[in-house]
Amino acid sequence: MKKHSGKQHMHKETLGIEEDLELTMKFPFNPKLGIDNPALCLGEDPGTDPEPAPRVCVLRKDANGTFGFYLRMEIERDGHVIRQVVPGGPAHLAGLKDGDQVLQVNGEYVHEEAHIRVAQKVKASGSRLSLTVLDEESYEKMCAEKISPISILTNYIPESCPRPKLCLVRNEGKGFGFTATATGGVRGTFLLTVEDGGAAQKAGVPQGARLLEVNGESIVSLTMSQLNKKLQQSGSRAVLLVLESSAWAMYESCGIKPSIAFADTSSLPYQPQKLYLVRCHQGYGFLLRQERCVGGQGQFLRELDPGLPAEVAGMREGDCLLGVNGQSVEGLEHEDIVSLILESGNQVTLLVISNEGDRFYREIGTSPLLFYEDKSHNKVSEVY
């Protein structure tokens, strides 16, 4: 890797650390702003003594780029605890409560992970964040009964339940290839009729799908005229989050509202790529640069040398760097990322996405790492 002397410096969010006390990560908030996703909670029968049941809460950052809660590590409790949820902030509106125990971040089990790693995962989530939590009482019950935290996560969404699909529909002069129909006169409830051979069908939109989001925004409160206006403003492409209509009842029976946190992105043209590089005597053959991009700063791969390891591994000019050796680089200082690569020795594994793909995910306010699956191991990879 070449050295870039003119790199910019990213602002690094401070994490307060006190020796032997607690590690706190603060997300300030604007109480006047909310989110477009309600709390996603599992209900329980008030007439029974229920087993500890997780809740899935999806948050969207406010205009200041904050979530509105503290993530803490406490001496008297294992794992990671939600504290100081400010009334009216995104966390409060998403259903988080003081004392909630965090079990998953963006679908990844984190209960036993180091606190600073969990904080990094939260920071790397983009403008959306999915947390699976237990309320404090349920967590204490789980501990008293010696129930494994991971065991209560296995059955709250049936494996047979179809996942929402994130689809990029391009208008190539003949429209988006679908029509929306409001059902039952309910605001925000739209089913899609997909034209054979049209743009929506090519993008993977199922026939009769229920529409959940357009361009990263929930349509739950829209009228038909408002939805049409939003689609007209989309220009030449629209990003749709849809769900097979038959699956809606399955989610309702589990007490969960489907969201982008569960999305299948396999039909999207933009997918992260894992690159394995072995250094030669001339180095890796690329330059890592920090550059301005949609929503802030990014790390981009430039000036590839023909025939050297980076190009041979499949790196492309302008790729955005997402991870180094299984660790997220989102939110890290440029020099820290360079150090991660140099400390790797003569070989390094990089996770990258095309420049266009990076811009796509930034524009809809989420991170590609939320959906990344390591197909080489046939399982969901670590979230970087």
pLDDT at 153: 66
Contact 237, 337 (CB under 8 A): no
Helical H segments across the chain, by residue range: 90-94, 115-123, 136-144, 199-202, 224-232, 248-253, 309-313, 334-342, 355-363
pLDDT at 300: 96
Is the predicted pLDDT of residue 123 greater than 60, yes or no? yes
Q: What distances in angstroms separate CA 271 from CA 166, 215, 301, 372, one per listed residue?
A: 12, 18, 16, 8
Listed range (66-70, 111-115, 164-168, 278-282) with the worst mean pLDDT: 111-115
Average pLDDT over residues 57-66: 83
Burial class, 340, CB count within 10 angstroms (exposed 0-12 / middle 13-18 / buried 19+): middle
Taking only the tens place, the pLDDT of each residue in 3-43 is 444 434 333 333 332 333 334 443 443 433 333 333 333 33
Share above pLDDT 70 across residues of the chain, in percent, rounded to a whole number: 78
Taking only the tens place, the pLDDT of each residue in 182-224 is 886 667 789 999 999 999 999 999 999 999 999 988 888 899 9
Question: Both tokens of residue 32?
Answer: 């006047």
**Cα-Cα-Cα-Cα dihedral sign, residues 362, 367, 371, 377:** positive
Contact 119, 25 (CB under 8 A): yes
Q: How far apart are CA 69 and CA 221, in angstroms?
A: 26
Q: Domains in the chain, start-ordered, CATH in brackets?
A: 16-153 (2.30.42.10), 165-253 (2.30.42.10), 273-370 (2.30.42.10)
pLDDT at 305: 95
End-to-end CA separation in angstroms for the chain? 21
Share above pLDDT 90 across residues of the chain, in percent, rounded to a whole number: 43
Is the predicted pLDDT of residue 154 greater than 80, yes or no? no
Cα angle vertex 102, ends 96, 107, to 5°?
100
Query: 251-257, long-range: CB within 8 Å, 24+ apart, which pairs?
Result: 251/161, 254/42, 254/156, 254/157, 254/158, 254/161, 255/41, 255/42, 255/43, 256/40, 256/42, 256/56, 256/156, 256/157, 257/37, 257/38, 257/40
Residue with the bigger pLDDT between 73 and 53: it is 73
Is the predicted pLDDT of residue 314 greater than 60, yes or no? yes
Question: Both tokens of residue 240?
Answer: 């749709």
- Could you tell me the pLDDT band of residue 299, with boundaries at 50, 70 and 90? very high
Select, from the ranges 111-115, 141-145, 316-320, 343-347, the one with the highest average predicted confidence (pLDDT).
316-320
Contact 124, 366 (CB under 8 A): no
Contact 290, 297 (CB under 8 A): yes
Q: How far apart are CA 235 and CA 241, in angstroms?
A: 17
Is the predicted pLDDT of residue 268 greater than 80, yes or no? yes
pLDDT at 39: 34
Q: How far apart are CA 33 and CA 144, in angstroms?
A: 39
Taking only the tens place, the pLDDT of each residue in 320-361 is 999 999 888 877 889 999 999 999 989 999 999 999 999 999
Q: How far apart are CA 361 and CA 367, in angstroms?
A: 6
Q: How far apart are CA 104 and CA 132, in angstroms?
A: 5
Taking only the tens place, the pLDDT of each residue in 360-372 is 998 888 888 877 7
3-state helix/strand/coil string of 73-95: ECCCCCCEEEECCCCCCHHHHHC
pLDDT at 117: 82
Listed range (140-149, 217-226, 238-247) with the worst mean pLDDT: 140-149
pLDDT at 354: 96
Q: How far apart are CA 182 and CA 82, in angstroms?
A: 38
236, 240, 246, 251: CA torsion to nearest 10: -170
Q: Mean pLDDT of all residues in the chain?
A: 80
Listed range (99-108, 143-152, 207-216, 367-376) with the worst mean pLDDT: 367-376
3-state helix/strand/coil string of 181-238: EECCCCCCCEEEEECCCCHHHHCCCCCCCEEEEECCEECCCCCHHHHHHHHHCCCCEE
- Could you tell me the pLDDT band of residue 238, with boundaries at 50, 70 and 90? very high
- Could you tell me the pLDDT band of residue 2, with boundaries at 50, 70 and 90? low
Radius of gyration of the chain (CA): 22
- Could you tell me the pLDDT band of residue 54, with boundaries at 50, 70 and 90? confident
